[in-house]
Structure 1
Amino acid sequence: MQRHHLRRRALLASAGLAAAAPALAACGPDITAGEDSDESRLLKAPEGDSPEGEITIWDRSGDLFEVFEGVIADFNAAYPGIKVNHVAVDIDAKLQNTLITATDVPDGVFLDDAKIGGFADYLWDLSDVLAPYAADIAPQKLDVNTIDGGIFGVPFDLDPGLLFYNATALEAAGVDVEAIETYDDLLAAARAYQAAVPGSAPIHLEQSPFLGQLQLEMYANQLGTSIADADGQLRLDTPEFERILTFLDTVRQEGLGTRAEYLTPTDIAELDNGNQVFYPWAIWFSFAPEQTLTETSGDWRATQLPSWDAGGARSGAMGGSSFVLPRDGANADLAWLFYEFLMFDPAGYAAVWGPGDVYPEGLATSIPSYTPAADPAAPLYGAITALGGQDLWAVATEAGAEIPGGTPTPAWWAGAVDYLGNDLQRMLDGDLTPGEVLTQSTDAIQTNLVDRQ
C-alpha cells in the first residue's frame, strides 16, 4: 500500500519516489493532432434515461484503483446497462503511443493535471458536459484543465497545502504553533525549537528535484503566480519566486532544515526522532502518520500554511489529477457518466472519499474539487487517529477555500525539472544564490523547452 500510494502522489498524485524522477522527466509530451472546429471537439452526454454499452477505464494500480473499483457497483445501480472494464495500466508508458496510433484507445483515463496540456489535442473538450457543475468546481482545478478556452479534464481531487507539525515535540519544546501566521513566524518557531532541541533541523527541505519544483509551485500558487502564465509563457524570474527561494535559502543557511527526499528512510527517521517537526506539504502527507511513521504516529497535526504576508492566502495547490476522455475512445460519452457519478453524485463522491475497505477512516489524502462535496458542514471523513483524532476534513476544506486560481500546466513543466528542479537543489547545496537560480533556469527553460515547442 505504501509503495502504491507514493507512486500515486509524487507527481500530482502519481510519482514513484526515487524511481519516479527519470520517468517523469519524459512525461508531458507535446503531441499534436490535426485542427478541428471547436464544436466538433465538444463531448455531448448520451441521450435517453437508460444508456447501454461497454466502457474501458484506465487507472494506475494501487490504492485509488481499489477505491474506484469499489464504486463500480454503486454506479451500476444507477446505470445497469453500462459495463465497466476497469483496467490497471502503466499510463505513463502506454498512453502516448495509444493516442498516437489510435489503437485500443480507452474511454477514460486517470491523468495528472500536469500532463493534460501535452495531450489536449487528443482529448474531448468537456465544456458542455461540465457546464452544469462548473460554477461549483474549485477555480484552481478548472484553471489547470482549461486550455485555449476548452476544458479537457473532469476535475478529481483538490490537494491543498498544509503545515504538518509534530504537536507533541513542539509542546515539549515550548513552541506555540498558534503563533505561526507567516513564513517569518515559521522561521522564528524553527529557531526556538532548535534552541530547545540542539542538533535538530526543524523544517523539511525537499531533496528530490521533481518534488522540490512541485513544492515550489505550491508556494508560488499562494502568491498568485506559477512557473507559466495562462498562455504557457515562462514567468519564473519574478519577485515572487525570488522571495520563495530566499526563504528556502535562509532555512539552509541557518541550518534550520532537514534535507531529505519525501518519505525515504532518512526522511522517516528524522520525522520519527523529533529532529524534523515542520512539514509544509500537500494534504497527502497525512499518509505518513497513517501508514509510515512508527514512533510519532499520533503526534502529528495539520494546520493552515503560513502566509507570505499578513492576511495572505494560507494555502496553495500542490498536485492533483483529473479524468480525461480520449476522442478515439469508442464510448467516451458513457465514460463521462461514470466520472459524473464519481465526482458530482452524492452517492459517488461519498463512496470515493468516505470510509471504505481501502481507507477505513476515509480517503484523507485529498478533498473533492467539487465544492458541494467539500462541504465543511457535511464531512466525508473526519477524525484521523494517526493525527491524534484531529478533524482533518475541517482543516483541509478551510485550506481548500483559500487556494488562489491557477493556470494550465505547460507541456514542458516536467522537462523544466532538469533546469529549475536541479538548480534549486544546487542552491540548497550552497552553490547558487536565489537570483542565480532564477536567471540560469529561466534562460535554460526558455531556450531548451519553450522556444522548441
Structure 2
Amino acid sequence: MSALSRRTLLRGAAGLGAMTALAACGAGGDDTAPKALTAPSSGAPLAGSITVWSRSGDLFKVFDAAIAKFRAAYPQVTVDHQAVDIDAKLANTLISGAGVPDGSFWDDAKIAGQAEHLYDLTSLIAPYRDKTAPYKLSVNTVDGKVYGVPWDLDPGLLWYREDLLQDAGVDPAGLGTYDDLLTAARTLRERNPKAKPIHLDGDPFLGQLWLEMLANQQGTSLSDDQGKLRLESAEYQKILGWIKSAVDDKLVTHQPYLKPADLAALEDGTQAFVPWAIWWDFAPQTLLTKTKGKWRAAPLPAWTAGGARSGAMGGSSFVIPAKAKNPELAWRLYEFLTFTEPGYTAVYGKNDTYPGGLNTSVPSYLPALDPAKPLFEPVDALGGQDLWKVAVDVAKTIPAAAPIPAWWAKSVDYLGNNLQKLMEGKMSPDDVLSESTKQIQRNLVDRA
C-alpha cells in the first residue's frame, strides 16, 4: 500500500490540512528584501554538507535514493536528508529563522506567501527558463523573481471507463470539448438509466482545487500576479454554467473524492468520467478492485475548439531558505534532481519503491517530457495504457498561471463552499461568483 500512502498524503485529505495550515502562516519576520542566490564562481570540486527536508513516507524513500546518485557524483558532499512534517514545521521555521534547513520540498501553493523568507533564484533558473513548463515558472514567480526550483507537473486528464463507453458506442477520441462530454454522458444514461456518469467532488477544498484546474485550462486563476481577484469573468462563468447544466440534467455523481460512496459508484458503473489530475491513477492501482484494468486516461476536453487540453491541479517545488547555511550546495542538489537526466530519471524511473516508475506526476523540465523515452512504464491497472505519452503530450499545453496567494486555503470557506451549493442545485453561477468575490475581497484580500 506504499502507493496509497504517498498519494493520500500529498494529494488527498492531508492536502486539506496542509493548505489550511498555510493560512495561519502569513508573511512575517524582518523587513530585509529577499536575497539573490548566484552560482559560486570557484571551479573547485563541490564539497561540504547540507541538510534538506522532504515529506515522510514513500516519496522520501524515492528522493533518498535519488540523492544517493548525487552523492555518488559528488563524493565530497554530505547530505543529511530528513523526513519532516513540512506542512506543520517549515513555515514557522522560516519565520523564526531557527534551525532552518538548506533546502526543502514544498507545495507550490505556499511559496508566494513566504517569498520574503526564501532565496531569489532568478539568475540560477535563467538558463532553464525556456526549458521549463510555463505554469511551473509562473507559480514560483513573485514580482518577477523566481523563488522555487520547479519540480513536478500535475496535468489534468479525463479518466474514463473504457468498457462502458464501448458498450454505449462512445468514442473517447470524440470528446474534444466539454459540451461533447455532456453529450456522451447523456448517451451513457440512455444505455443505463441509473448512470450519473460525471464525477463532481463533494469536498469543498478539492472541489475548489479542481475548479482552478479548469480555470487554468483557460489561462486564468482566482487572482492575478498582483493578487487582484478575477473570479467574476467569462472563463469562470463558462465553467460554472457547464456545472449547472450537468447538475440540471442529472448527469453527475456528487461525492467526496474516493470515499466509500464514490468508490462504489466507480465500481458499479454509475460513474464513467472523472476529469481530474494525473494522480487519480492511484485509484485503479490500489482501490478499484472490481474495475481494475478498465479505466483509461485521455486529454481533458477543451473549453473551446482548439483550446488547451489540460490544466494543472496541484504541484510542488524545491525552496532554499534565505537563512540557509549552505545555499549554494542546496541549489546544486536541486539542479541535479530537476535539470539533469540522471537526477529526474532517478526519481521518476524504476526504483525500489516504484518498480514501474513514479507515475502520479511528470517532470516540469520539458526535455524530460519525451514521449519516446518514458520514465515510467505502461500501467497494468489501466489495461497496459501508455500513460506517460498521454500525460506528457497534454502537459506541454498547460497555460501559465499566477502565484497562488497566501489566503487561498481560507478562500475555500467561501468559494469552495459556494461551489458545493451550485453542485447541489442551491445556488446559481452568478451568485457563486458575486458572493464569493465579495466574501474573499472583504475577509481575505483587504485584510491581507
Query: Which deviations, in whole Å up to 9, do the C-alpha atoms of 1:92-116 show, x marking residues without a partner?
Result: 1111221122111011111111110
Answer yes or no: is 1:32 the counterpart of 2:28.
Answer: yes
| Contact preservation (8 Å) 2:21, 2:87 | no
Q: Which residue of 2 aligns with 1:417?
A: 412
Q: Secondary structure of 2:368's partner?
A: coil
Q: Where in structure 1 are there 5+ consecutive unaligned residues?
A: none
| Cα separation, partners in 2 of 1:37 and 1:421, compared to 1, 3 Å | closer
**Which has the higher mean CA deviation after the structures are superposed, 425-434 or 21-30?**
21-30
Q: Secondary structure of 1:372's partner?
A: helix
How many pairs align?
445
| Contact preservation (8 Å) 2:148, 2:320 | yes
Q: How far, CA to CA, are the matches of 1:55 and 1:169 in structure 2? A: 53
Query: Which deviations, in whole Å up to 9, do the C-alpha atoms of 1:81-133 show, x marking residues without a partner?
Result: 11111111111111122112211101111111111011111000111211221
1:351 to 346, 356, 370: 346
Q: Which residue of 2 aligns with 1:137?
A: 132
Q: Which residue of 2 aligns with 1:125?
A: 120
Q: Where in structure 2 are there 5+ consecutive unaligned residues?
A: none
Query: Which deviations, in whole Å up to 9, do the C-alpha atoms of 1:217-265 show, x marking residues without a partner?
Result: 1100111111011111111011110110111122212111111111222
| Contact preservation (8 Å) 1:157, 1:320 | yes
Q: How far, CA to CA, are the matches of 1:444 and 1:376 in structure 2? A: 44
Q: Which residue of 2 aligns with 1:95?
A: 90
* Amino acid of the structure 1 residue aligned with 2:252: G
RMSD after superposition = 1.5
Q: How does 1:318-333 map to 2 (within 5 A)?
A: 318-333=313-328
Answer yes or no: is 1:155 the counterpart of 2:150.
Answer: yes
| Contact preservation (8 Å) 1:364, 1:381 | yes
Answer yes or no: is 1:282 the counterpart of 2:284.
Answer: no
Q: How far, CA to CA, are the matches of 1:396 and 1:263 in structure 2? A: 21
2:58 to 32, 55, 63: 63
Q: Secondary structure of 2:405's partner?
A: coil
| Cα separation, partners in 2 of 1:379 and 1:210, compared to 1, 3 Å | same
Q: How far, CA to CA, are the matches of 1:213 and 1:193 in structure 2? A: 27
Q: Secondary structure of 1:133's partner?
A: helix
Q: Secondary structure of 2:366's partner?
A: coil
| Contact preservation (8 Å) 1:45, 1:129 | no
Query: Which deviations, in whole Å up to 9, do the C-alpha atoms of 1:125-182 show, x marking residues without a partner?
Result: 1112112211100111001100011100000111111101010122122222121110
Q: TM-score, normalised by structure 1?
A: 0.95
Q: How far, CA to CA, are the matches of 1:23 and 1:335 in structure 2? A: 24
Deviation, 1:37, is 5.2
Q: How far, CA to CA, are the matches of 2:169 and 2:5 in structure 1? A: 36
* Amino acid of the structure 2 residue aligned with 1:350: T
Q: Which residue of 2 aligns with 1:112?
A: 107
Q: How far, CA to CA, are the matches of 2:56 and 2:33 in structure 1? A: 36
Q: How far, CA to CA, are the matches of 2:389 and 2:379 in structure 1? A: 11
Answer yes or no: is 1:295 the counterpart of 2:290.
Answer: yes
Query: Which deviations, in whole Å up to 9, do the C-alpha atoms of 1:23-50 show, x marking residues without a partner?
Result: 5323143213434456x43344473342
| Contact preservation (8 Å) 1:362, 1:381 | yes
Q: How far, CA to CA, are the matches of 1:263 and 1:48 in structure 2? A: 52
**Which has the higher mean CA deviation after the structures are superposed, 325-334 or 416-425?**
325-334
* Amino acid of the structure 2 residue aligned with 1:275: T
Q: Which residue of 2 aligns with 1:8?
A: 10
| Cα separation, partners in 2 of 1:69 and 1:220, compared to 1, 3 Å | same
Q: How far, CA to CA, are the matches of 2:20 and 2:76 in structure 1? A: 41
Q: How far, CA to CA, are the matches of 1:429 and 1:102 in structure 2? A: 46
| Contact preservation (8 Å) 2:28, 2:95 | no
Q: Which residue of 1 aligns with 2:76?
A: 81
